[in-house]
Amino acid sequence: MINALGQPQTLLLLGGTSDIALAVARDYARTGSPYVVLAARPGARRDAAVAELAGLGLGVEAVDFDAEATDTHADLIEGVARVRDIDVAVVAFGVLGDEEQAWQDHDAAVHLATVNYVAPVSVGVCLAAVVKRQGHGVIVALSSVAGERVRRSNFVYGSSKAGMDGFYLGLGEALRGTGGRVLVVRPGFVHTKMTEGRDAAPLSVTAEDVAAAVTKAVAGGDDLIWVPGAMRGVMSGLRHVPRALLRRLPI
Amino acid sequence: MSERLTGWGRTAPTVGHVVSSTPDQVAELVGRAGPRGLIARGLGRSYGDPAQNAGGTVLAPFAGRIEAPLADGTVRVSAGTSLHELMVDLLPRGRFVPVTPGTRYVTVGGAIACDVHGKSHHVAGSFGDHVASLDLVLADGSTRTVGPDRSADLFWATVGGMGLTGVVTSAVLRTIPVETGYATVTTQRLPDLDAVMREMRESDRDFTYSVAWIDTLARGRAMGRSVLSRGEHATRDQLSGRAGAEPLVVPGAPRLAVPFPSPTNLVTSLGVRAFNEAWFRTSPAHRDGEIQSLGAFFHPLDGVANWNRVYGPHGFVQYQFVVPDGQEESLVRILERISAERLPCFLAVLKRFGPGNAAPMSFPLAGWTLAYDVPAHPDLAPLLDGLDRLVVAAGGRVYLAKDARLRPDVLAEMYPRLPEFRAVRETVDPDHVFQSDLARRLAL
């Protein structure tokens, strides 16, 4: 259960080795001790993540998760939910890819669209069934401002995020009245291993900033947030910039 | 019907299927409860999550029903009867409930499940001490009549058992005789914690009812400054004027209401500090023999319907704990911690408890209890977890009827008789048909 102070007892991290997912677990560990189910591909990174969270005094368990193997998602999520209520599930996996390769290399494009859109839809449907049955639970979907106004510079990534963002906003509406909730998180540029080596955009944040915003929003019952908050205004303006002008902007 | 439920603190909402029924239909509903189980709900005055059941069944309270009191002063009531209804019925007959908490809008079933206490605990004990017997529908659909003299283990596990042993459908309660619907009240303003504790220790036994309101925002030498309010049931010859003309007056409906939930929390440090200051200064230094209606004396907040809405959308939590006699130092340390935080708290309540009863999960034990209301916020967690440690170290506990955030491992330390309770529950409900959000959260 999530208690009166917004602290969950069970945290499911899908894409459990992502910097933001781990930062969310660390943020909860500051004031509480949730049991963490870390769903990720087996390997050294997952082992390190398990060790790190266990070192914080949390109960941790790793389960094998492959975003592209959508036919395995239902069993995986139901398996977790059979043992304990899923209080907060973070849909944190995604790939950025090489923008120019992504629209010219068929395999790369399909891979990106599968991981960033098809797989989130797949786990979203499974998670929705769980929180609906439980009568409570929050699904946190890590979207991106890139999906809010899709730009030439990363339109394959942006379009996949636009799709998943729309799906989760709609899922939140569909779950109204069931006790289950969806929180869509739209970070700007986040300094993580995914964005390593890229030039930081203005208003860039860290994984810790995103995590702090997520835990606050889960406690506060929000359904859509931007990180940083100022990004909301920026994107609201950017959404209305004519394409001819957007093309000339250095973004 | 699916309904979003919270406790009185308006925190941690979950959705359950709320069903209304008569006592006769309970067995069937229990049989039909799905994997998420069933819990009985009263009037939703527990602050946290004991009367909600996410994804499961929540049984709405039965209609109130009161049979005429028997010659021995006991009365048989349905579990859905509120203490308000009971007082309205009993007072004209010259009788009153033996124990009333700070609100009369609780059901008898809820009062038993939480083993509630009132201002009279130091002389009268808690609600369960005045239950002669109760009818309980068990997980297998059977009904058992239990009491302190029959199936005592099951009876005492049900008292304070947070609804997890079964559904109480009716109870036989002892009542007390009163001459009037009024109390004579003695009020004293006391400058600090030492003074109020000394006064309560020395002379609480001279009063049936006693409680102190503490200004938790006062610091330094004024820390713990309090207004101590103590009283007795008024006799007929103590009344005059209008009260004398109608001595057995019954409590009325709330006169004010908070009509809708405030969009933001209105309980802020500045406002609360001003309120507490004004309240302390306007209280009499010492006043004897004031006549107050029982409603005004016992349930001042019942005058404002839905007062919990002033805390805004995130609600509030109440931290109520008890530390045993001899642990006064711990109480002082805890109050110091609370005062140092400067959190907006209208008047914490301090009360002395008499000895506890035989119920393994009953909250009261001989000592001191303090109840502290604050707006809910994630940043409260370290403070309250820290208070838990002080309370455990002092051999005390927190009150499950108020709790909304305790950790399961700490619960076991606070309630050393938890294994006894679990053993009874395993016997009567091995599949845990009776379930609540509190039970899940605390792994009861």
Quick: pLDDT tens for A35-45. 999 999 999 99
Q: Is residue A17 part of a domain?
A: yes
Pairing status of strand B367-375 against strand B348-353? antiparallel
- Closest by Cβ to A4, choosing from B2, B4, B9: B9
Contacts with B, A 207-246, CB within 8 Å: 215-216, 219-221
Return left, alpha or beta for B252; rule: phi > 0 is left, psi -120 to 50 is alpha, else beta: beta
> How far is residue B200's CA from residue B190's CA, in Å, rounded to a whole number?
11
* Chain A residues with beta carbon closer than 8 angstroms to that of B12: 1-4
SS3 B362: coil
State the greatest distance between any 2 C-alpha atoms of chain B, in Å, as a whole number: 60
Q: Do A4 and B13 touch (CB under 8 A)?
A: no
- pLDDT digit string (tens) for B392-440? 999 999 999 999 999 999 999 999 999 999 999 999 999 999 999 999 9
Helical packing angle, A155-174 and A106-113, nearest 10°:
20
If you count residue pairs, one on A and one on B, with CB atoms under 8 Å apart, how many are there? Answer: 87
Distance CA B40, CA B142 (A): 16
Structural domains in chain B plus CATH codes = 74-178 (3.30.465.10), 182-405 (3.30.70.2520)
Does residue A2 sit within a domain? Answer: no
Provide the 8-state DSSP code for B68: P
Q: Which of residues 121-150 of A touch B (CB under 8 A)?
A: 133-136
**pLDDT attached to residue A9:** 97
Distance CA A68, CA A216 (A): 31
Q: Which residues of A are catalytic?
A: 157
Q: Is pLDDT at B375 greater than 90 in this prediction?
A: yes
Q: Are B418 and B161 in contact (CB under 8 A)?
A: no
As a whole number of angstroms, the distance between CA B44 and CA B3 comes to 13
Q: What is the mean pLDDT of residues B173-198?
A: 96
Q: Is B160 on the interface with A (CB under 8 A)?
A: no
Q: Nearest to residue B64, comparing CAs of B142, B169, B181?
A: B169
Q: What is the pLDDT of residues B109-151, one digit of tens each?
A: 999 999 999 999 999 999 999 999 999 999 999 999 999 999 9
Residue A4 lies in a domain: no
Residue of chain A with shortest Cα separation from B58: A135
pLDDT the model gives residue B94: 95
Tell me which chain A residues have a C-beta less than 8 angstroms from the C-beta of B261: none
Question: Tokens for A67?
Answer: 């975003």
B148 neighbors B216 (Cβ within 8 angstroms): no
User: Across residues B199-218, what is the average pLDDT?
Assistant: 95
Task: Give B307: exposed, middle or buried? Use CB within 10 Å, 0-12, 13-18, 19+.
Answer: middle
CA B142 to each of CA B33, B138, B171, B277, B432: distance values in angstroms, whole numbers, following the listed order: 15, 6, 16, 55, 15
Give yes or no for a contact between A170 and A212, defined as CB atoms under 8 angstroms apart. Answer: no
List the alpha helices (DSSP H) in B114-238: 121-124, 152-158, 193-203
Q: How close B48 comes to chain A (CA, Å)?
A: 7
Domain of A135 in residue numbering reads as: 10-246
State whether B54 and A4 contact (CB < 8 Å).
no
Interface test with B, best of A136, A178, A214, A218 (most B CBs within 10 A): A136
Which residue blocks in B67-226 are alpha helix, DSSP H?
83-90, 108-113, 121-124, 152-158, 193-203
Q: What is the pLDDT of residues B3-47, one digit of tens each?
A: 999 999 999 999 999 999 999 999 999 999 999 999 999 999 999
Whether A190 maps to a domain, the answer reads: yes
State how far the Cα of B396 lies from the Cα of A124, in Å rounded to an integer: 44
Q: What is the pLDDT of residue A209?
A: 97
What pLDDT sits at residue A195? 85
Task: Confirm or reject contact between A82 and chain B (CB < 8 A).
Answer: no
The answer for residues whose C-beta is within 8 angstroms of residue B427's C-beta and 6 or more apart is none
- Nearest-CA neighbor of B131 among B164, B98, B88, B104? B98
| Average pLDDT over every residue of B80-104 | 96
Find residues 282-321 of chain B whose CB sits inside 8 Å of chain A: 313-315, 317
- H helix intervals, A71-206: 73-83, 99-104, 106-113, 119-134, 155-174
Of B9, B381, B441, the CB nearest to A1: B441
Contacts of A3 in chain B (CB under 8 A): 11-12, 404-405, 441
* CA distance to A2, A24, B241, per residue, from A208 (Å): 21, 7, 68
Between chains, do A221 and B313 touch, taking CB under 8 Å as contact?
Answer: yes
Burial class (CB in 10 A: 0-12, 13-18, 19+), B422: middle
Residue A1 maps to a domain = no
**What's the pLDDT score for residue B268?**
86
Helix residue ranges per DSSP H, chain A: 19-31, 44-55, 73-83, 99-104, 106-113, 119-134, 155-174, 207-220, 231-239, 243-246
Please give the mean pLDDT across all residues of chain B.
95
CATH of the domain at A18: 3.40.50.720
Interface residue A43 vs chain B (CB under 8 A): no
Number of domains, chain A: 1
| Amino acid residing at B119 | K
Average pLDDT for A139-162: 96
Q: What is the pLDDT of residue A201?
A: 81
Task: Classify residue A124: in a domain, yes or no.
Answer: yes
In Å, how far from its chain's centre is CA B367? Answer: 17
Among B5, B377, B410, most A C-beta atoms within 10 A, so best to mutate, is: B377
A84 to chain B: closest CA residue: B440
How confident is the model over B345-355, as pLDDT tens digits? 888 999 999 99
Q: Would you say A20 and A211 are in contact if contact means Cβ atoms under 8 Å apart?
A: yes
Amino acid B432: pLDDT? 97
User: Does the distance separating the beta carbons of B4 and A177 come in below 8 Å?
Assistant: yes
User: What is the Cα–Cα distance from A43 to B70, expressed in whole angstroms?
Assistant: 74
Q: Measuring CA to CA, how many Å separate B17 from each of A85, B14, B37, B162, B165?
A: 18, 10, 10, 19, 20
Provide, as residue numbers in chain A, all residues whose Cβ is less than 8 Å from the Cβ of B49: 1, 4
Backbone angles phi, psi at A127, to 5 degrees: -65, -40
Of A4, A220, A221, the CB nearest to B404: A4
Which residue type occupies A192?
T
Closest CB to B12 among A2, A31, A215: A2
Q: How far is A178 from chain B (nearest CA, A)?
A: 6
Per-residue pLDDT of B262-310, as tens digits, reads 888 888 888 898 999 999 999 999 999 999 999 999 999 999 999 999 9
B367: left (phi over 0), alpha (psi -120 to 50) or beta: left
Instruction: Say yes or no: A7 contacts chain B, CB-CB below 8 A.
Output: yes
B3 CA: distance to closest CA in chain A (Å): 8
A100, part of any domain? yes
Asked whether residue A34 is assigned to any structural domain, the reply reads: yes
Which residues lie below 8 Å from residue B168, measured CB to CB, with a gap of 6+? B40, B79, B108, B109, B112, B113, B134, B135, B136, B158
pLDDT at A229 over 80: yes
Beta-ladder partners of B213:
B227, B349
Q: What is the DSSP string of B330-348?
A: HHHHHHHHHHHHT---S-E
Predicted pLDDT of residue A29: 96
* Integer Cα distance of B305 and B285 in angstroms: 30
Q: Are the C-beta atoms of B357 and B115 separated by less than 8 Å?
A: yes
A10 and chain B in contact, CB less than 8 A: no
